[in-house]
């Protein structure tokens, strides 16, 4: 089995809530640990909603 990481996912959010600092917009929940770990623990499968985040740059910005 492969490990799915939340880092780089478009749905992954770091919140300001110190009790639950991580959130997943796709599954609409907050957690004390990375959402991918909670998804695997509850379903037994890797996260199926992971989408790679695309970083947009402004025109004229250096890469």
Q: pLDDT tens digit string along 17-57?
A: 999 999 999 999 999 999 999 999 999 999 999 999 888 77
Closest CA to 4 of 41, 45, 51, 47: 47
In a domain? residue 59: no
Neighbour-count burial of 51, counting CB atoms closer than 10 A to its CB (0-12 exposed, 13-18 middle, 19+ buried)? exposed
Residue 60 has pLDDT above 90, yes or no: no
Residue 4 has pLDDT above 90, yes or no: no
Closest CA to 20 of 4, 31, 6: 31
Domains held by the chain: number: 1
In a domain? residue 61: no
Residue 30 parent element (H or E): strand 29-31
Give the residue numbers spanning the domain of 46.
1-53
In a domain? residue 15: yes
CA distance 31 to 2: 21
């Amino acid at each position: 089995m492969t490990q799915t990481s939340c880092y780089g996912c478009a749905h992954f959010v770091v919140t300001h809530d110190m009790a639950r600092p991580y959130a997943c917009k796709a599954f609409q929940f907050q957690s004390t640990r990375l959402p991918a770990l909670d998804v695997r623990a509850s379903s037994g499968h890797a996260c199926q909603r992971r989408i790679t985040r695309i970083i947009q740059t402004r025109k004229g910005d250096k890469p």
